[in-house]
Amino acid sequence: MSKSEPLGCLFLTDGPKESFEKIMKAKTDSYTGISYEKNNRSSLANLIEIMAALKGDSPQGIAGKYEKYDHRYFKEELAFEYSKYFENFRVKYSSVTMAQIKNVIELGASEAQQSASCAMEIFLEALNK
């Protein structure tokens, strides 16, 4: 999966259909089976690492579970797990209003300004000693 090209990036807000399409288009290789070989099969290793993170397993454990399957089956499983994992996030995200976002930003800016002022006072006092 690409980290820099929007067409290949997985976003937390991607719906099930969009994430499925991106995962199915993800680059793998021409070897058969699923194995975790970071140097020789880096594109597939990336997908395995994503699945491992979603499932709370090691990349080696994921590769072992899917070693007899083809790339298509593995990617379908990954797309399902990705969609399921972020389902609650997408629901909560869709219910957030711009007013709520603005309030959080304003609160954060106010707290940051107070913290910076306090730090600046300490710094200036230290210089004057």
**What are 41-89's pLDDT values in tens digits?**
999 999 999 999 999 999 999 999 999 999 999 999 999 999 999 999 9
Q: How far apart are CA 48 and CA 81, in angstroms?
A: 12
Average pLDDT, the chain: 92
Q: With contact defined as beta carbons under 8 Å apart, do 28 and 73 qualify?
A: no
Q: What's the pLDDT band for 7 if we cut at 50, 70, 90?
A: confident
CA torsion 114→118→124→128, rounded to 10°?
150
End-to-end CA distance of the chain: 54
pTM above 0.85, yes or no: no
Q: Look at residues 15, 35, 25 and name the one whose alpha carbon lies nearest to residue 75.
A: 25
Give the H or E element holding residue 24. Answer: helix 16-25
The pLDDT assigned to 128 comes to 84
Residue 5 has pLDDT above 70, yes or no: no
Residue 80, number of CB atoms within 10 A of its CB: 15
